[in-house]
Structure 1
Amino acid sequence: MSRRTRDGSVAPSVFSMENEPSDRTILVAVDFGTTYSGLAWAQTRRPDHQTTIASWPYANSRGLEGRTSDKVPTELRYKDQGYEWGFQIDDEGPRHQWFKLELDPSQSNVISDIARQFPARNALPPGYNADVKKLVTDYLTALREHAERFLQLKLPQAALRSTAIEYIITAPAVWSDAAQAKTRECAERAGMGRGDRLQIISEPEAAAIYTLDALDPHNVKIGDTFVLCDAGGGTVDLISYTVSALKPMLSVDEAASGTGSLCGSTYLNRIFEQYVIARFGENDGWDDEVIEDASKRFEELTKRRFTGNPDETFSIPVPGLMDNAKQGVQRGKFIINGDEIAQIFKPVLKEIIKLVRGQIAATSRDVKAVLLVGGFGESVYLRESLRRALGSDIEILVPANSWTAVVRGALMKGLARTNPSLNQLQVHSRRARKHYGSEWSIAYDSNIHSRSRRRWSNYHGSYRITVMHWYIKKGEPVREEETTSFHYYIHNLVSEGPPQRLSVPIAASIDPENTGAPMYWSDGVKELVKLKTDLSFIPEESIDRRTGEDGELYYNCSYDVEMTNYSASTKYQVVYKGVRYNSVEAEYI
């Protein structure tokens, strides 16, 4: 179903055709998660039939049979020939886990104390025997191939051959522009399409689309603010929205920038493992099978059913351990009570409650409800713990199918793009997470500028100074598909020939202390992306000429760089004399 190109990437699906009808497309949404990933699909001609894929290959199987689950583990294990992925990997032995996070090293600050204190037992170290882009590309390839095998069983072959498949993939809202670009690159190499045929959508936005659509519209008013908490296996991500319009569709604005940390439900498993090892690790009969079986029962049953009742008890298998009445081991099992389970939950819940309170404070508004999604979001104990911590004035709402809220919302957004009448919710604006701008040459003013930074310009016949010009400032609302123009001039001596190539650095400043956008390029300003484009296509005679103050003749080339912001991606174009050129190479730093 796929073929390798000369550069080693995977060519797009053979189902895609260049001249397919625009009203007949299969959309496949991909929730590429830290610990689990999901798939959903629909046909644009039947948008009301939206389906999640819940069957996955298991053990040595490469077909659809084997395991039923709403999601599949985000794991890889390389073998002599090829690799195993997801449920194909058995419970024992090392495997590549959590490699998604390596796409964005800039998010190292979200590593919580819990993540440092409770490392994974079976995870291979970051970068072990594989480049992160290879890991992500191989895993996304496995997801794509599985989706297409699934579609082959559900749809007639003739329909598949004549219908394009387009993919929508999700990415964290807090990721850097470079990480979002790497996600797109890996998805393209995995055969999920290129350019406009591959959409990147932020995870919390996708979850919000699904969740807010599921709310009672009669209970939503303009000005209502919601905090969305996506509590997954590895990460817990939060973002806030305020309702700005109800008609013609529900519109929301970001009320606070996204936050998150590594404090998902996987850490419950790790804390439990340390608990079991500390309690029974010295017992007769202890081996790896004991911890594997105990952890599997905790993961699949105990932590999911625990409600916080101290009188609850759960039986945990510890096969092979000798009976020990003092420790409560009898016939290869022991009983864990509610108080002990609550202590396992305690450090994780403490971190999540801290994140939620921080997000509520960042909105500077009265928050109506916390919308809880994700696999961990289905935990009764987490829900009740948040209710106690936040008080009765803030509702805790959990929609149906919360574990698959992200992939369902991503599919809904993809369908709305093909048919605007299907759009149920619009994220009207997002908060800029950084200052964005570039250097700008202006006239030197001794009352404002640093004397040491001035320079003489032969063209202008005066002193000039280079300062930062911030086109977007941190915290400002940025609208969906809104274009920001960066204006530039090139003054080249005609005697040196016309400009052949542009190289434009776009800068960003995170401004963690919120001291304001700096005037000069300083330690707090980093190069975000370098835009390169070929200007040789511009006829020399069309370039304006002007005589400088030094009497020399200069090319005076005026152009704009347009930056268009999408949910989790950015598009750049060069505009020269009203003509837009797409041939811009964006090299993220």
Structure 2
Amino acid sequence: MSYSSSRFDPSDYPYIIGIDFGTTYSGCSYFYTEDSTGEILEITEWPKQRGAIYPKVPTASLYEANGKRMIAWGNDAIFKAQRPNNKDVLVERFKLTLDPNIASKATLPNGLTSLEVITDYLTAFHAYVLEYLDRVLGHVYQHSKSRYCLTVPAMWDDQAKATMREAAILAGIVSRADNPDRLVLTSEPEAASLFCEKKCDQFELEEGKRFMICDAGGGTVDLIVFGIDDNNGKKTLREITKGSGASCGSTFLDARMRRIFKTRFGEYYQDNKQAINHIMKQFVTVIKPQFENEDDEFFSMPMSLKLSEDELSEIGIEDGKLQISVDDLREEVFEPVVKQVLDLISDQVNQARKKLDAVFLVGGFGQSKYLQERVKETFESKIGLIAMPARGELAVVRGAVIFGLSPGRVSHRVARRTYGLAMDSPFDYIQDPAEYKYIAADGSVMCKGRYIVYVNKGETIEAEECVTHKAFAFYPQNISAALYVYDGNEVPPRYTTHYRVRKVSNFTIKMPFIPNAYTNQKIGATLNMYFGNTEILVEIKIHDKVFRSASEYAAHELEKISVPIDREEESENDDDDKPEYSFI
């Protein structure tokens, strides 16, 4: 995926589409730059809503039994899965399979992979978005002139982010030949911060102030602290802390609530699953967002219970209602999950090292009254203002559009990991083991596999800061670089063979045609790496040609070699079987 860097012009894309791909619900906002109202709008009408108007659609897919064909998505998938005698498989919360902390424990049915399930969902989701925009914008809308911003959790690693880009390509959101800047990725708390930054005047936050975003959604909770800079009247945001997060969103409350119902119903649980699904819906839609740790809750049971009077009494159902005490709700359902969120906030407060001016609670779970009260009572002495912005559940999807309009609004980011390349270096007889030694063609004694660090974990990097490396290849071999990562907090290891150093990415550029170049001629190249964005971008300059590429991570099921868009000058002796040459 490479192209001439001069090809991308944001003014060619007047339609900005923000996609918040969530664990439980996904949303879409859009903006037309030539609309005089200057208003960001979100899609509130989704297929099979049955009269309900809600700005998000369930992140759910229905697959045929024992197969890999998706037969429904969103609301339709859930309705069809609930039909009597349904044999098809409902797949939900599949976004969590990309969480690096739990991915190894997450399994998908029917042999499906994360990439396949996410691609299937995004294909259907995006097809509906195009249909909707065609309908509401009419003849002025042109898909080819749309630019996209896709949000990802702050805690995701580079493989997970690259899998999302690959899924977006396979889903037809953008094409592989497109300039990577047509699809930008941003972290969910970063998008939310741009939404909240517009409200800074309302909360009297100005240059030099620091605020935390706590984006608590259905599956994940992401946090980060930003500082406000004002450069000649233009506000930008600077990351102060390394973003953190965990899978401890509101769906984990649902799981704990269902566990209580399982305990109460005991041996009668399996025969009354439909009734339990009915009272779970009461919990999700009514009790969960409004719970304030004050009253017992009573669940209205449907008439379809397959239980005798004695069995009803044994479970604790009286007059058609099941009572759950406020103590059980607090201790068994809310507090274990909320405590994880409080620990995450505490970690960010400690990283920031000085009192924060504000924290904004956004996301669906961020609207929970219990969570809000617990944050206030725990941190009111350490944080100046604890605020829940209006329509906070839309903060991420609206912020995605703001980011798509102005990616430069976030001026500095903090590196989540230590990044470097594998390079050969002069052999050190004191430090380097003998088995790493070799004699180069020019007779020099060299050490192979050195891990040369370019960016250290925790380092603050400007968004456009460039790390440059000079290299060469022998014409007409392809040019390839391997990126390695170290996640530890200690001094990085000396060699890429260390068990905690992982190869995460290959950047491969097809050697362009160079007039008058001869076979095995040494061709110089400049490798520029940009680590200050949500994704790592690489720019390679070879003679008068410039290629920019988003990384191609080893986790992809598909791995492609980058080729120039402009191919009229390609060599007639194009030999794909020739070995690629790695930077040294």
TM category (shorter chain) comes to 0.7 to 0.9
* 1:108 is the counterpart of 2:114: no
1:333 to 321, 325, 328: 321
Contact 1:372–1:399 (CA under 8 A) maintained in structure 2: yes
Contact 1:532–1:584 (CA under 8 A) maintained in structure 2: no
Percent identity of equivalent pairs: 30
Q: Tell me the residue number matched to 2:204.
A: 219
Q: Tell me the residue number matched to 2:481.
A: 504
The one-letter code of the counterpart of 1:96 is: V
Distance in 2 of aligned mates of 1:28 and 1:557? 41
Q: Tell me the residue number matched to 2:92.
A: 97
The one-letter code of the counterpart of 2:115 is: K
The one-letter code of the counterpart of 1:142 is: A
Q: Tell me the residue number matched to 1:62.
A: none
1:377 to 366, 383, 407: 366
**Cα offset for 1:284?**
10
Distance in 2 of aligned mates of 1:247 and 1:506? 37
Contact 1:57–1:66 (CA under 8 A) maintained in structure 2: no
* 1:202 is the counterpart of 2:196: no
**Cα offset for 1:36?**
1.0
Give the superposed CA RMSD.
3.1
Larger RCO: Structure 1 or Structure 2 (Cα < 8 Å, ≥ 6 residues apart)? 2
CA shift in 2, pair 1:283/1:170, >3 Å? closer
Q: Tell me the residue number matched to 1:84.
A: 72
Distance in 1 of aligned mates of 2:163 and 2:256? 32
> Which structure carries more strand by proportion?
1
> Which one is further off, 267-276 or 160-169?
160-169
CA shift in 2, pair 1:451/1:221, >3 Å? farther
CA shift in 2, pair 1:585/1:475, >3 Å? closer
2:495 to 520, 525, 529: 520
* 1:50 is the counterpart of 2:22: no
**Cα offset for 1:413?**
1.6
SS of residue paired to 1:252: strand
* 1:193 is the counterpart of 2:167: no
Distance in 2 of aligned mates of 1:404 and 1:232? 11
Distance in 2 of aligned mates of 1:560 and 1:246? 32
Q: Tell me the residue number matched to 1:289.
A: 274
CA shift in 2, pair 1:535/1:153, >3 Å? closer
CA shift in 2, pair 1:500/1:313, >3 Å? closer
Q: Tell me the residue number matched to 2:459.
A: 476
Distance in 2 of aligned mates of 1:438 and 1:102? 28
Question: Cα deviations across residues 116-163 of structure 1 (Å, max 9, x unaligned)?
Answer: 9xx9xxxxx42434332221112112211221222233223x223597
1:413 to 396, 400, 403: 403
CA shift in 2, pair 1:470/1:257, >3 Å? same
* 1:74 is the counterpart of 2:59: yes
The one-letter code of the counterpart of 1:281 is: G
CA shift in 2, pair 1:231/1:585, >3 Å? closer
> Which one is further off, 222-231 or 341-350?
222-231
SS of residue paired to 2:242: strand
> Which one is further off, 443-452 or 567-576?
443-452
* 1:41 is the counterpart of 2:30: yes
CA shift in 2, pair 1:193/1:367, >3 Å? same
Question: Cα deviations across residues 488-528 of structure 1 (Å, max 9, x unaligned)?
Answer: 245x6xxxxx45222321211112xx221222222222112
Q: Tell me the residue number matched to 1:438.
A: 421
* 1:569 is the counterpart of 2:539: no
| Alignment gaps of 5+ in structure 2 | 1-6, 556-584
* 1:126 is the counterpart of 2:126: no
> Which one is further off, 313-322 or 223-232?
313-322
Contact 2:538–2:549 (CA under 8 A) maintained in structure 1: no
Contact 1:27–1:43 (CA under 8 A) maintained in structure 2: yes
Q: Tell me the residue number matched to 2:382.
A: 393
The one-letter code of the counterpart of 2:46 is: W
Distance in 2 of aligned mates of 1:281 and 1:585? 51
The one-letter code of the counterpart of 1:569 is: E
1:164 to 127, 132, 145: 145
**Cα offset for 1:542?**
7.9
SS of residue paired to 1:68: coil
Distance in 2 of aligned mates of 1:586 and 1:216? 41
The one-letter code of the counterpart of 2:528 is: E
SS of residue paired to 1:210: helix
**Cα offset for 1:168?**
1.9
Q: Tell me the residue number matched to 2:134.
A: 152
SS of residue paired to 1:569: coil
> Which one is further off, 574-583 or 220-229?
574-583
**Cα offset for 1:584?**
8.7
Q: Tell me the residue number matched to 1:316.
A: 300
Q: Tell me the residue number matched to 1:264.
A: 249
Contact 2:62–2:71 (CA under 8 A) maintained in structure 1: yes
> Which one is further off, 66-75 or 450-459?
450-459
Distance in 2 of aligned mates of 1:172 and 1:486? 30
SS of residue paired to 1:107: coil
SS of residue paired to 1:191: coil
> Which one is further off, 399-408 or 579-588?
579-588
* 1:357 is the counterpart of 2:341: no
Contact 1:232–1:264 (CA under 8 A) maintained in structure 2: yes
**Cα offset for 1:458?**
3.3
Distance in 1 of aligned mates of 2:60 and 2:423? 47
